[in-house]
């Protein structure tokens, strides 16, 4: 299979750890979802080899062939996720993060309770179908890199403060502290409380909104993998402009129907200060094979080997990611990802920085950073 095409193939397998029953398999070839699946015997032996080790107290975590990487990860002793990727530059670090995101997505839509206590496998299978759309967007060629950085993808609007104020007012009126404006999976503005959401859901919610088919309004039950993995919340979305969506996270109230008039008001504000055309961010062509350099900043220790961020950029291969960033930079819209401990008050601050909560990785070089709390990275590319 590996030699059939130059584009890589990603297979994601989800199995019930105790019984070994496959819950779902998703495949992706060359960035687009594919029908082709692994044969059942292969799935069985991939799982079997992991289980065999576990019985002997040896956890198999990854394996590599010349062009493929396989990563195993089991969650809560009930779900085993296996990813097999022949995409070029697929590092273990990236695949491990991918599995974390996938599990987060499963919790987001099904709830942790269902996943840890599997009573009816068939029913769980059906429920998990809801998450396919989101999971496929992780596997495929997405423009977002939040899955990798574990940070929220953002767009910095020209009139950030105006939007922020309008949004806060609106959310307050609706009786919730969690509100955000999302453009194709990227956060434009959000309330203070929204930024304090835990890592998986802060990334997952905008991503989910971006991956769902366009609709005028939604009322979606979600579990928050970090905040409340067992009790569902409601995610309300309203499309203000084509591509621009308002998201609210709330309890049983308010009902969706009450939101309409106020949101109209907000949309006027939005429309007045931002021309609608600038909301779409086109993908860039990869112009150059420039030299890559990674800026890696770390304080205040002595020199240590770090894993540079370019190595984990995965299928949106390093250069591609570089070009992409550059483009956004050139257009004046920068991307900024934050973690909860750093409130994003300085939108538009330069240079754009990525904050990573920790460098948890299998890379031995990176293990040195394990104890560090915050590491900031900025990527750039010299593209002449």
Interface residues with other proteins (CB under 8 A) are: 1-3, 6-7, 30, 38, 42, 45-46, 48-49, 52-53, 56-68, 70, 84, 86, 88, 92, 286, 289, 291-308, 310-311, 317-320, 362, 364-365, 367
**Which residue's CB is nearer to other proteins, number 1 or number 268?**
1
* Residue placing its CB nearer to other proteins in the complex, 269 or 377: 377
- Judged by beta carbon, residue 77 or residue 260, the one nearer other proteins is 77
Tell me how long the chain is. Answer: 384
At its nearest, how many Å lie between other proteins and the CB of residue 353?
Answer: 14
User: Is the Cβ of residue 63 or residue 212 nearer to other proteins in the bound state?
Assistant: 63
Cis peptide before 300 (omega within 30 of 0): yes
Look at residues 154, 161, 160, 147 and name the one whose alpha carbon lies nearest to residue 183.
154
Residue 146 CB, shortest distance to other proteins, in Å, is 22
Closer Cβ to other proteins, 96 or 245, answer by number: 96
Q: Output 92 or 147, the one with its CB closest to other proteins.
A: 92
State the nearest-atom distance from the C-beta of 225 to other proteins, in Å: 23
Q: How far is C-alpha 154 from the chain's CA centre?
A: 12
For the chain, how big is the Rg over CA atoms in Å? 21
In the numeric block, which tokens belong to residue 78?
């009930």
State the Cα–Cα distance between residues 296 and 350, nearest whole angstrom.
16
Q: Are 342 and 74 in contact (CB under 8 A)?
A: no
Can you list the pairs that 167-170 forms with residues at least 24 positions away whose Cβ atoms lie under 8 Å? 167/191, 167/246, 167/266, 168/192, 170/246, 170/262, 170/263, 170/265, 170/266
Question: Which of 105, 112, 154, 162 minimizes the C-alpha distance to 131?
Answer: 105
Beta carbon of residue 369, minimum distance to other proteins (angstroms, whole number): 12
Least Å from the CB of residue 73 to other proteins: 11
Nearest to 24 by CA among 142, 115, 89, 87: 115
| Cβ nearer to other proteins, comparing 86 with 131 | 86
User: Least distance (Å) from other proteins to the CB of residue 41?
Assistant: 9
- Select from 4, 93, 95, 83 the least CA-distant residue to 38: 83
Pairing relation of β-strands 22-29 and 9-16? antiparallel
User: Which is nearer to other proteins, 77 or 88 (by Cβ)?
Assistant: 88
User: How near is the Cβ of 334 to other proteins at its closest, in Å?
Assistant: 20
Smallest distance from other proteins to CB 362, Å = 7
Q: 3-class DSSP state for residue 307?
A: coil
């Amino acid at each position: 299979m590996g030699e059939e095409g130059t584009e890589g193939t990603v297979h994601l397998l989800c199995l019930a750890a105790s019984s070994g029953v496959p819950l779902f398999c998703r495949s992706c070839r060359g960035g687009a979802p594919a029908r082709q699946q692994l044969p059942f015997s292969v799935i069985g032996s991939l799982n079997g080899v992991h289980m065999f080790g576990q019985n002997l107290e040896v956890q198999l975590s990854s394996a590599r062939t010349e062009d493929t990487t396989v990563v195993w990860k089991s969650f809560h002793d009930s779900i085993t996720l296996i990813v097999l990727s022949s995409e070029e530059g697929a590092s273990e670090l990236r695949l491990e993060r991918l599995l974390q995101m996938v599990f987060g997505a499963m919790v987001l839509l099904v709830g942790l309770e269902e996943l840890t206590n599997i009573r009816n496998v068939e029913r769980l299978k059906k429920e998990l179908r809801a998450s396919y759309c989101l999971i496929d967007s992780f596997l495929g060629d997405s423009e977002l890199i939040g899955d990798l950085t574990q940070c929220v993808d953002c767009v910095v609007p020209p009139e950030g403060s105006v939007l922020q104020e309008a949004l806060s007012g609106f959310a307050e009126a609706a009786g919730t502290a969690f509100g955000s404006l999302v453009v194709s999976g990227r956060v434009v503005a959000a309330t203070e409380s929204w930024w304090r959401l835990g890592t998986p859901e802060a990334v997952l919610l905008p991503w989910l909104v971006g991956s769902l088919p366009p609709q005028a309004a939604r009322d979606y039950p979600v579990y928050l993998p970090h905040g409340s993995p067992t009790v569902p919340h409601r995610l309300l979305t309203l499309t203000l402009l084509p591509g621009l969506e308002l998201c609210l996270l709330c309890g049983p109230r308010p009902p969706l129907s009450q939101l309409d008039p106020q949101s109209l008001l907000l949309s006027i504000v939005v429309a007045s200060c931002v021309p609608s055309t600038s909301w779409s961010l086109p993908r860039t062509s990869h112009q150059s094979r420039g030299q890559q350099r990674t800026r890696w900043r770390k304080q205040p220790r002595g020199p240590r080997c770090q894993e540079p961020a370019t190595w984990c950029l995965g299928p949106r291969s390093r250069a591609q990611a570089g070009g992409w960033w550059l483009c956004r930079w050139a257009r004046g819209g920068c991307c900024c990802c934050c973690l909860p401990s750093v409130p994003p008050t300085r939108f538009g601050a330069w240079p754009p920085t990525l904050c990573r909560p920790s460098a948890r990785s299998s890379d031995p070089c990176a293990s040195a950073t394990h104890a560090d709390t915050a590491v900031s990275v900025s990527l750039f590319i010299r593209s002449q």
